[in-house]
Amino acid sequence: MIFDAADTEARKNYQLLNGGVAPRPIAWISTRSRDGVDNLAPYSFFSVASCNPPVLLYTQVTQRSGVDKDTLKNLVDTGECVVNIVSAHLLEQANRCSAGIDAGESEFDFASVESTASYKVSPRSVKASPVRYECSLKEVISISKLPAGGTVVLLDVKAIYVDDSVYIDNAIDQALLDSVGKMGGDLYSYTSAQVALERP
């Protein structure tokens, strides 16, 4: 079956992209508002943009209302965030943080997520996340303001926290990290089943 993207409604294009580009890593992003409210939200359109210098990227999909999510508002206002990696034991809490709650309420409290002070940025970090990237805002690129459009956010990595329990032989042990991936719809994937293939 072929779908002509130009003739396909936005919701269907979203389903085809969300369902086919999977599994995706999850950026569980913590920010702080100007008023000092700590926000925590998961984003699955997330990847590495550059290693030298280290830059991460995530995409905010435009809501039907056209209003930016609290994460982006806070980033633009304060310029700082933490990208917390979601391990399997944190999945339910991370998923709970996708609920639409009032901007004056913290997802840390709503989802009973324990926080800890970050090293170089003001937003709090997820204490139980074994890998955390403390970042400053580099650039915001608006692709489309239409519903289901996208805003790409580039983040300069300022500090990287890796828990000693997952840092083995000078590298992050993928099995011990036990990160999860986002599939389409309500589905997630575990990464506990792994295969090693030597590059040719």
Contact present, 59 and 41 (Cβ < 8 Å): no
d(CA 30, CA 107): 9
Q: Quick one: tokens of 196? A: 């090693």
Residue 98 identity (one-letter amino acid): S
Segment 9-13 shows an average pLDDT of: 90
Going by pLDDT thresholds of 50, 70 and 90, the confidence category of residue 42 is very high
> Residue 67 carries which DSSP code?
P
pLDDT for 66: 64
Q: Which residues contact 41 (CB under 8 A, 6 or more apart)?
A: 28, 29, 69, 70, 71, 97, 98, 107
What pLDDT is attached to residue 192?
85
Q: 10 Å Cβ neighbour count for 56?
A: 21
pLDDT tops 80 at residue 132: yes
Residue 17: pLDDT over 80: yes
Is 27 strand, coil or helix?
A: strand
N- to C-terminal Cα separation, the chain: 33
d(CA 71, CA 42): 10
* 22-32 pLDDT per residue, tens: 999 999 999 99
Give the SS3 label for residue 106: coil
What is the distance between the alpha carbons of residues 62 and 107, in angstroms, rounded to a whole number? 20
Letter for the amino acid at 154?
L
Beta strand 80-85 pairing with 27-32 = antiparallel
- Which residue, 122, 129, 137, is CA-closest to 97? 129
Where do the domains of the chain lie, and which CATH numbers do they carry? 5-17+24-180 (2.30.110.10)
Q: With bands split at pLDDT 50, 70 and 90, how would you rate the model's confidence at 73?
A: very high
Structure confidence at residue 105 (pLDDT): 92
Least confident of 4-13, 62-71, 80-89, 98-107: 62-71
Cα(94)–Cα(26) distance, integer angstroms: 9
